[in-house]
A and B are shown apart, each in its own frame.
Chain A
């Protein structure tokens, strides 16, 4: 499973402060740590309260790239900030994210096509997050079809079925699992899938246990990637184990280390 390291996010106090003071140290430390622990992409998010999201995004991209060669996942609802970041990325990036809404899809898919970027697509629209798997899959199909019109193949898309906390929307769980399975039959090649892993455990106790349980269940239903805490060793070990059980990696006694060290 592709791990998109979630930690460079202005929502966290240390990163928020670093952005404000333009202090690269905390950002670069988390970039290194996440890469060392096996992240495949680094999510870059200036945080919800940034007063100057475009400038902050440009700065985060630059200081992150000084210490890591991992591809970046530019995470913002402000598309100007994403576009400014894309121009600075040394290698094809990922855009996080676009819902099944016009004109947002037009804006995002146009810049994705221009920069060769992958796109995280949210299975929601103006009406919010649907509960039913059928409606989620319908929105995914809409995203795939619209991207196709911009010349973006489905395998460049990561559909996020959207996960709500399990303590407030418990009935969404099985629908998310079904959505993950059915997204794979929308097109050939199939789109990829992703989730914001920690959403499932918001407001609960045992957050890490719930996160990693969800991760392996979702993997069994075809999940390709997750925005997650790459420094959660138990999570990474659970993902490595799920990959063995799903025959995605060849077993050896050191398989957990091998999974984490793959980038090194």
Chain B
């Protein structure tokens, strides 16, 4: 008698979200990227469809970043030129898309004006043809002044813009609604807030339900990665069981978080038994990102080109059909 393999049946699937817009669609991207659409847990090709591979972005800042010196050899020549930096990320390092962080807008740093921020985004859009993610400086009051000018300057491009939070989602959502961009809905490692925020955004406009990317907030390896992992796992299980308000693709700043921790940054001389610093940092970032692939992430934002290379290889392997 033939053995019948028991397979999990899922009731629903993750919604698909399109990033970027080509000329025909009103933008200037050479192609769009579709994320989401999974009808099974991550990479269980034998139980459902994983129609879109996870994508990997590289980070670009609009000012010289305070990063570990090991990044100079990769980006030092373009630190002062975000457009050239973005181009290098795509052409040389193979980023699927770009995330620009408008760090210089921080009132305690350069306090760059909304108009200048919008001009930077425009330059980046001209320099690269991949879809672009734009996030603010992290100070909500200032960021709220940036969204509309940027959304208008990039109207038609179908940017991903963020971040909206429970106490502050209206400005970015309105900007995205009016100009057809995608919004990042960020919750502080809290599934209840994650779901509530998606509901609130959808209440502003039902059309936004296919224009939300969940940022559940990721942590670096050793710094609470298991909490983020569990939240994402729970959200994805909810999505597959039909909870539409958790059925959006997920996104995380694996690079930003990994390069904040001492394990990635402490110099080789200070901790020789930990191994060589740059290699250690790359591994820290790649391992962090790998864990999130397994918990269902759809968009990874990385920092180190070598970590990106490792992760893209990892995705290639995971996307190989294992159905039977």
Contacts and interface: CB of A to CB of B under 8 A. Distances in A.
Interface of A: 249-254, 257-258, 262
A-side binding surface: helix, strand, loop or mixed?
loop
B246 A250 contact: yes
Given A250-B195, A251-B192, A252-B193, 16 more contacts: A249-B243, A250-B191, A250-B234, A250-B243, A250-B246, A251-B191, A252-B194, A252-B195, A252-B199, A253-B196, A254-B196, A257-B199, A258-B199, A258-B243, A258-B245, A262-B244
B192 A250 contact: yes
Contacts of A253: 192, 196
A253 B199 CA distance: 10
B149 interface: no
A95 B192 CA distance: 38
A257 B195 CA distance: 12
Contacts of A251: 191-192, 195
B305 interface: no
B-side binding surface: helix, strand, loop or mixed?
helix
Nearest to A248: B241
B234 A252 contact: no
Contacts of B94: none
Contacts of B238: 250
Interface string B190-218: 01111110010000000000000000000
Contacts of A249: 243
A262 B195 CA distance: 14
Interface residues of B, number: 15
A262 B12 CA distance: 13
A73 B192 CA distance: 34
Nearest to B200: A254
Please name the 9 residue pairs, one residue from A and one from B, whose CB atoms are nearest each other, closest first.
Answer: A252-B195, A252-B196, A254-B199, A251-B192, A250-B238, A253-B196, A252-B192, A250-B191, A250-B195
10 contacts: A250-B192, A250-B195, A250-B235, A250-B246, A251-B192, A252-B193, A252-B194, A253-B192, A258-B199, A262-B244
Contacts of B234: 250
Nearest to B196: A252
A250 B195 CA distance: 8
Contacts of A257: 199
Interface string B69-112: 00000000000000000000000000000000000000000000
Contacts of A254: 196, 199
A154 to B, nearest CB: 16
A229 to B, nearest CB: 24
Contacts of B245: 252, 258
Interface in B221-254: 234-235, 238, 242-246
Contacts of A250: 191-192, 195, 234-235, 238, 243, 246
A250 B191 CA distance: 8
A249 B239 CA distance: 11
Nearest to B193: A252
A126 B245 CA distance: 48
Nearest to B197: A252
Nearest to B245: A258
Nearest to A250: B238
Interface string B117-158: 000000000000000000000000000000000000000000
Contacts of B196: 252-254
A85 B288 CA distance: 57
A251 B193 CA distance: 9
A215 B315 CA distance: 47
Interface string B173-203: 0000000000000000001111110010000
Interface string B246-282: 1000000000000000000000000000000000000
Contacts of A262: 242, 244
Contacts of B192: 250-253
A90 to B, nearest CB: 20
A258 B247 CA distance: 13
Nearest to B243: A250
A251 B243 CA distance: 11
Contacts of B246: 250
Which of B193, B238, B242, B243 has the most C-beta atoms of chain A within 10 angstroms of its own C-beta?
B243
A86 B193 CA distance: 44
A251 B244 CA distance: 13
Contacts of B195: 250-252, 258
Nearest to B246: A250
A224 to B, nearest CB: 15
A214 to B, nearest CB: 26
Nearest to A253: B196
Nearest to A251: B192
A253 B245 CA distance: 12
A251 B238 CA distance: 11
Nearest to A255: B195
Contacts of B242: 262
A63 to B, nearest CB: 28
A139 B199 CA distance: 45
A57 B191 CA distance: 46
A263 to B, nearest CB: 11
Nearest to B238: A250
A59 B245 CA distance: 37
Contacts of A258: 195, 199, 243, 245
Nearest to A254: B199
A250 B216 CA distance: 15
